[in-house]
Amino acid sequence: MTTKLLPVSVLILLSILFVGCQNNESARIREAARESLPVIDPNTIVAPSSSTASVNSSVPHYQCPNNCVGGVSSTSGSCPVCGTDMVHNQAYHNPTPNPTVTPTSAATSSTAQNTGGVFHYICSNGCAGGAASATACATCGNTLVHNQAYHSQAATTPAAPTLSSPVFNQATTSPASSTSAAQNAAGVYHYTCSNGCSGGAGSAIACATCGNTLVHNQAYHN
C-alpha cells in the first residue's frame, strides 16, 4: 500500500513545486516591469490650467435652489444655510458678453444756437427761447419744431479772414451806418406819430407820448 502511494505523493510534490516556480516567475516579471516604469514626483505634476474664457465668473457655479443668502459655491455640495443640495447654474458656462460701446451724443448733437444766435428748434406758439433738439418748450410745454433758418444762418455766415487773405492787404474803411439819423438837416423827423404827438425818431418805434408805433415821414427826404 505504501509503495502505491509513493508515486502519487511525488506527483503532488512536483505539481506544488511547478506552481510555486510559476508564481515566483510571475512575481519576478511584475517586479521587473514595475522597476522599468519612470519614477514621477507628484510635486512636479502641473495641473491643467482652467479656461476662464468660456465661463462667466460674475455668477456662481452652484447655488441653492431656495435662493439662500450665501448659498453658493464653486463645487457641488449642500447649501451651508439650509442644507439642501445645491444645483448647477448653467449661466456660469455662458461667457460674459463684451460691452457695447455707444458713441456719446455730444459728438453728433448740434448746439442750441448757431453763430447768428438763431435757435435750432423753436416753439410753434412763438414762445421765447429754443433748444438743440425737439424737446418740450420751457414755457408752454409743446414739443419744439425744427427751425430751417438755423441752417440758413449758419450757411451764410462768412468765414473769418486769415492773415493771407487780401482783406488784410486792403485799406479798411468803416461802412456807413445803415441806421439813418432821427432828424435831417432841416430838423424834420424821419418817423413821426400819426396822432400828431411832438417829437419822433429814426425808426418805427413806439411813440414816447402815446405809445403808438411811429410812421414814416416822407418830408424827411425832401
The model's pLDDT over 162-180, given as tens digits with 9 standing for 90+, comes to 555 554 454 444 444 445 6
Note whether residue 31 is domain-resident: no
- Average pLDDT for 73-81: 89
**pTM for this model (two decimals):** 0.25
Identify which of 203, 205, 206, 208 has the alpha carbon closest to the alpha carbon of residue 220: 203
Same structural domain for residues 124 and 90? no
**Which of 44, 71, 95 is a domain's end point?**
95
Note whether residue 4 is domain-resident: no
* Measured distance CA(147)–CA(74) in Å, rounded: 61
Q: What is the pLDDT, as a whole number, of residue 178?
A: 43
Note whether residue 168 is domain-resident: no
Note whether residue 48 is domain-resident: no
Note whether residue 139 is domain-resident: yes
pLDDT at 108 over 50: no
Identify which of 161, 154, 127 has the alpha carbon closest to the alpha carbon of residue 142: 127
pLDDT tens per residue, range 149-158: 888 755 455 5
Note whether residue 59 is domain-resident: yes
Q: What is the pLDDT, as a whole number, of residue 87?
A: 92
| Average pLDDT over the chain, rounded to an integer | 75
8 Å CB contact between 109 and 133: yes
* Measured distance CA(133)–CA(131) in Å, rounded: 6
pLDDT at 49 over 60: no
Take residue 49 and report the three cell numbers written for it: 490650467
Any idea which of 2-16, 86-100, 123-137 has the lowest mean pLDDT?
2-16
Same structural domain for residues 90 and 61? yes
pLDDT tier at 47, thresholds 50, 70, 90: low
Residue matched to cell numbers 488784410: 168
pLDDT tier at 8, thresholds 50, 70, 90: low
Note whether residue 22 is domain-resident: no
- Average pLDDT for 195-213: 84
Q: Under DSSP, is residue 213 helix (H, G, I), strand (E, B) or coil?
A: strand
Note the residue count of the chain: 222
Boundaries of domain holding 68: 54-95
Count Cα atoms within 13 angstroms, Cβ side, for 136: 4
Buried b (16+ CB within 10 A) or exposed e, 166-178: eeeeeeeeeeeee
**Which of 95, 119, 149 is a domain's end point?**
95
Q: Which residues contact 161 (CB under 8 A, 6 or more apart)?
A: 167, 168
Number of domains in the chain: 3
Task: Please indicate whether residue 55 or residue 86 has the higher confidence score (pLDDT).
Answer: 86
Note whether residue 29 is domain-resident: no
